[in-house]
Amino acid sequence: MARCSEWGARRPSSPPKIWDRRPIRILVHHTAGANTPDFSVPAAHRMARGIQAFHMDRNGWLDSGQHFTISRGGHVLEGRLYSLGELNGGRRVVEGAHSPGQNIIAIGIENEGTYIGVDPPAPLWNSLRATCAYICSRYGIAPSELYGHRDYRNTICPGDRLYGMLPRLRNEVAGLLGRRLSRTEATKATWPLLREGDSGPLVEAAQLLLRDAGTLRGDPDGRYDDRTLGAVTEFQVLHRAEDANGLLGGESWPELARTVRAGSEGDAARAVELLARHRKVESVPDVVDHPVWQKLLGTGGAPVPVAQDPSGVADR
Ligand SMILES: [Zn+2]
């Protein structure tokens, strides 16, 4: 891995903060830049310098936001200064600036390119896998704890294709560490990313929650169109979201999916009913909190008991 001094990094404008604790997860990003065919070392170094300049000069950050950067050619570079030394030490973490709320507890890896419609090239993938395995081993992070940026923010990042490869990444990282993951551990996410053009029961449940929150007018129809986009954006503005962009992702779901108790009525309870029916869940817990919502949305946690007979859905 190339240290900051090797790829020509500038000195940070002030010393990066170092926390006396281990990070608990890894967040995978894409840079949303060009998918360059230049896989050379000089190209990797140029890319890292470009990101650092953007983060320091445009965003006003003290240094690169991410802890590590991987080029399309598979060259791995230190991002924020001291990240590599602290990783090797395995006890402390450099505070990053890659995802608000996650910058101390999660290591951020920027992968060069845009992976909305294409897969990352093999050299990048192999280096990402090896880098994640090394980070997991140094910090004692479970290979199931690899997530995409969208799991915590309202963002497309790291692109549908790379995001869709995270279960494979978890499995392959586990393999490198001599471990095996259950299907649930490998496939979990925090929240689904919903966006314009989506349709179905998850959208309808989101619409019920938006109406419950007072930002959707009219009846839910399971279609994420202009009306729903507007309702999501309004909800995000009301909740002072960092990303008020109409994408319903990991930043806004925790606020939208409010706690529902057994016997309660209204749109939030209707959303629970709808999802329970959709998932053929036998009995919904009395308190529907975030982990239960995530199970109902099909993204995480242990599998919910599935009814033998769909008519056995709890009446609530
Ligand atoms: Zn990102």
Burial 140-151 (b: 16+ CB within 10 A, else e): ebbbbbbbbbbb
Compute, in angstroms, the gap from residue 108 CA to the centroid of ligand 1.
Answer: 8
pLDDT (0 to 100) of residue 301: 58
Amino acid 188: pLDDT:
87
Q: Hey, what CATH class is 18-187 in? A: alpha beta
3-state helix, strand and coil shares in percent for the chain, rounded to the nearest 5: 40, 10, 50
DSSP tag of 281: B
**Residues 72-97: tens digit of each pLDDT:** 999 999 999 999 999 999 999 999 99
- Residue 119 above 80 pLDDT? yes
Q: Can you tell me the mean pLDDT for 205-234?
A: 98
pLDDT at 302 (0 to 100): 53
Amino acid identity at 219: D
Band of pLDDT at residue 282, cut at 50, 70 and 90: confident
Instruction: Report, as an integer, the average pLDDT of 3-13.
Output: 98
CA 34 to ligand 1 center in whole angstroms: 15
Q: How many CB atoms lie within 10 A of CB 302?
A: 10
314 pLDDT tier (thresholds 50, 70, 90): very low
Which of 156, 157, 136 minimizes the C-alpha distance to 146? 136
On the question of pLDDT at 304 being above 60, the answer is no
Span from the CA of 276 to the centroid of ligand 1 (angstroms): 32
Q: How far is the CA of 153 from the centre of ligand 1 (A)?
A: 9
**Each residue of 229-280: pLDDT tens digit?**
999 999 999 999 988 999 999 999 999 999 999 999 999 999 999 999 999 9
Of 93, 69, 165, 172, nearest to 129 (Cα)? Answer: 172
- Ligand 1: centre distance to CA 152 (Å): 10
Q: Average per-residue pLDDT in the chain?
A: 94
State which H helix or E strand residue 227 sits in: helix 226-238
What is the residue whose two structure tokens read 């999501």?
232
Going from the Cα of 101 to the center of ligand 1, the distance in angstroms, rounded, reads: 13
How many whole angstroms separate alpha carbon 39 and alpha carbon 44? 7
- For residue 181, report the distance from its CA to the centre of ligand 1, in Å: 25
For 179, the token pair is: 């471990």
Burial 72-83 (b: 16+ CB within 10 A, else e): bbbbbbbbbbbb
For residue 201, is pLDDT > 50? yes
Ligand 1 mean position, distance from CA 52 (Å): 15
Which residues of the chain does CATH 3.40.80.10 include? 18-187
Q: What string of DSSP letters covers 169-224?
A: HHHHHHHHTT----HHHHH--SS--B-TT-BSHHHHHHHHHHHHTT---S---SB-
Buried b (16+ CB within 10 A) or exposed e, 7-18: bebeebeeebeb
Token pair 């001094």: residue = 5
